[in-house]
Amino acid sequence: MNQFDRPETFDPQALRKKFSEIRTTARDEETATKGIAELTPLARQIALQFRADTYSPAMITGLIRLLDFSALFAIGYGINAQYVAPTFAQLPVYLGILVGGSALAVAAMQIADAYQVPALRAWLRMTPRILASWAATFGAIALALFFLKSGHLYSRFWIGAWFIAGAFFLVAERAFIAYSIRHWSRNGTMERRAVIVGGGQPAKDLIRAIEHQPNNDIRICGIFDDRDERRSPNVIAGYPKLGTVDELVEFARLARIDMLIISLPLTAENRILELLRKLWVLPVDIRLAAHANNLRFRPRSYSHVGQVPMLDIFDKPIADWDSVAKRCFDIFFSLVALALLWPVMLVAAIAVKATSPGPIIFKQHRHGFNNETIEVYKFRSMYTHLGDPTARNAVTRHDPRVTPVGRFLRKSSIDELPQLFNVLKGELSLVGPRPHAVLAQTQDRTYSDVVEGYFARHRVKPGVTGWAQINGWRGEVDNDEKIRFRTAFDLHYIENWSLLFDLKILFLTPFRLLNTENAY
């Protein structure tokens, strides 16, 4: 036996440190795609088949927990309102029992593993666990009422009817969910889409291992490999090789891909590094397959696809429920901002229209999430016949193209307020890396030519304001250092995102806008 086959002789921290170095080097040395790699007709056809969004298992199970809590509460409340009709003074106590009981039931089913996807599929087998969890909840309620010596104060009929009705609901709901999951699996609504990076026998073994998983939710969309047909056949385990790694970047921007799985041995560090230099800019999970390696680490060193072990290289930023929380944050604060700022926007619109001919709103194509092109709204600040939709020529101090009203709007950032409607449409976030014009450049070079890893800013939705802007990096970009610093701050934001971080940036934005040094 090789010494590395024994877990106790190998420290997994050494491997984590090594891949941390690889990630850092990838960020520092990554050669971002300067142009668009041309996909083959087959690759483009397959990418277009996967344009629709999917729902991850984490999202589905989270929604089912929310459904269970809401439905159990509603059932108990409905019976209570019809039979008990509590007084206003009694209502808070009954509501406390309803909320506590519903939450305890969800927690009990979570402990019983009733929210795992395989359990949701096998509703008949899980019915005893579901009913046991529901019964344990009522046992806990009865015990609490007994020790509080208050059981005689509450209706036994209500508690019994809630138990029976809730049990019928949970069984019927699980049967319906099992049917729905099978339907969602067939039509692709509930699946994780993966691309295999690397070909040959390792890719074939990986595909077979994934396909043999019970209740497999992984949809393999294709294989990408730089090697020619002699070392990597064009069809592997029934899946076509769709192109090179450079083409994979474009494929992942056209399709909705969740995961890239690299099928290379851990010892191929140089080749892994070359792949990461190209792939880390994508908003996907990147995993290194570890099922066929001789190295064996402690179980906590791995994540798993089914039962196939993987080593995590990159995680998709702001995924699953984090993305839901951020979207709710955006909608709420955008509506608040519109409610407070509509007089300012109305005055700005009148001023733009009254002082120069042309439209009130200026629309410009900019880079959005995952490098998609979006149309961003601004109050027009330039003379119409001198406008520059491509933003090839950055606005400078005393720029003759800018109207007098436009100069004030730009300095105060009032010209950006229409982007609140982009936020409500879902094209922008309130906080994130600022979207740049598609053809924006400095000193005759596009930003992607200046900054290695520039496109990694697009792993999240761009924002109306951002970490770079409140740290002074707003306005004119007239040298390479300015765009490098902006990108560095944007990447820091992506790596350290939280709702509290967003709230901090949002709170500081009005104060930092007072610094108009670089805003022309």
**Which residues, in sequence order, are bridge partners of residue 437?**
366
pLDDT recorded at residue 503:
94
Confidence at 7, pLDDT banded by 50, 70, 90: very low
Say whether both 179 and 233 belong to one domain: no
Residue 520 is assigned to a structural domain of this protein: no
Judged against a pLDDT cut of 50, whether residue 236 lies above it is answered with yes
Residue 38 is assigned to a structural domain of this protein: yes
| List of residues 6+ apart from 502 with CB closer than 8 A | 326, 329, 430, 431
Q: How far apart are CA 265 and CA 15, in angstroms?
A: 13
Say whether both 354 and 434 belong to one domain: yes
Compute CA distances 219 → 94, 185, 211, 321, whole Å: 47, 10, 9, 22
Residue 219 is assigned to a structural domain of this protein: yes
Say whether both 354 and 488 belong to one domain: yes
Q: With the CA atoms of 276, 280, 286 and 292 taken in that order, what torsion angle do they form, in degrees rounded to the nearest 10?
A: 0
Say whether both 292 and 393 belong to one domain: no
As for how many domains the chain has, the answer is 3
Name the residue with higher pLDDT: 96 or 156. 96
Picking from 290, 314, 338, the residue at the C-terminal end of a domain is 314
Task: Kindly give the pairing relationship between strand 192-197 and strand 218-224.
Answer: parallel
Residue 435 is assigned to a structural domain of this protein: yes
CATH number of the domain encompassing residue 300: 3.40.50.20
Q: How far apart are CA 346 and CA 155, in angstroms?
A: 58
Picking from 314, 330, 364, the residue at the C-terminal end of a domain is 314
pLDDT recorded at residue 299:
56
DSSP 300-314: GG-EEETTEEEEEEE
Say whether both 125 and 157 belong to one domain: yes
Residue 517 is assigned to a structural domain of this protein: no
Q: How far apart are CA 69 and CA 57, in angstroms?
A: 18
Residue 161 is assigned to a structural domain of this protein: yes
Which parts of 306-414 fold into alpha helices (H)? 321-355, 404-412
| List of residues 6+ apart from 332 with CB closer than 8 A | none
Judged against a pLDDT cut of 60, whether residue 342 lies above it is answered with yes
- Maximum mean pLDDT: which of 80-89, 185-194, 490-499: 490-499
pLDDT tens digits, residue range 407-417? 888 888 888 99
Picking from 187, 206, 229, the residue at the C-terminal end of a domain is 187
Say whether both 127 and 226 belong to one domain: no
pLDDT recorded at residue 393:
66
Say whether both 8 and 140 belong to one domain: no
Range of the domain at 485: 321-512
Task: Kindly give the pairing relationship between strand 285-289 and strand 235-236.
Answer: unpaired
- The residue-averaged pLDDT of 157-165 equals 89
- The residue-averaged pLDDT of 217-236 equals 82
Task: Kindly give the pairing relationship between strand 239-243 and strand 235-236.
Answer: antiparallel
Say whether both 239 and 214 belong to one domain: yes
End-to-end alpha carbon distance in the chain: 69
Residue type (1 letter), 240: P
Residue 41 is assigned to a structural domain of this protein: yes
Residue 518 is assigned to a structural domain of this protein: no
Tell me which of 75-89, 183-197, 390-404, 449-463 is least confident.
Answer: 390-404
The helix/strand/coil state of 431 is strand
Q: Could you tell me if 128 and 95 are in contact, meaning their C-beta atoms sit under 8 angstroms apart?
A: no
**Which residues, in sequence order, are bridge partners of residue 442?**
445
Share of the chain above pLDDT 70, in %: 85
pLDDT recorded at residue 290:
78
pTM of the model: 0.78
Judged against a pLDDT cut of 80, whether residue 267 lies above it is answered with no
Say whether both 350 and 459 belong to one domain: yes
Judged against a pLDDT cut of 70, whether residue 297 lies above it is answered with no
Q: How far apart are CA 50 and CA 466, in angstroms?
A: 31
Say whether both 97 and 161 belong to one domain: yes
Q: How far apart are CA 359 and CA 344, in angstroms?
A: 18
Residue type (1 letter), 199: G
pLDDT recorded at residue 518:
57
Say whether both 299 and 349 belong to one domain: no
| List of residues 6+ apart from 432 with CB closer than 8 A | 460, 461, 462, 463, 466, 493
Task: Please state the separation of Cα 89 from the chain's center in Å.
Answer: 44
Q: Could you tell me if 432 and 466 are in contact, meaning their C-beta atoms sit under 8 angstroms apart?
A: yes
Compute CA distances 210 → 401, 432, 449, whole Å: 59, 36, 39
Say whether both 398 and 493 belong to one domain: yes
Half-sphere exposure of 183 (CA within 13 A, CB side): 6
Q: How far apart are CA 394 and CA 475, in angstroms?
A: 9
Q: Which position has the token pair 């969602």?
A: 184
Mean residue pLDDT of the chain comes to: 82
Q: Could you tell me if 368 and 462 are in contact, meaning their C-beta atoms sit under 8 angstroms apart?
A: yes
Judged against a pLDDT cut of 90, whether residue 153 lies above it is answered with no
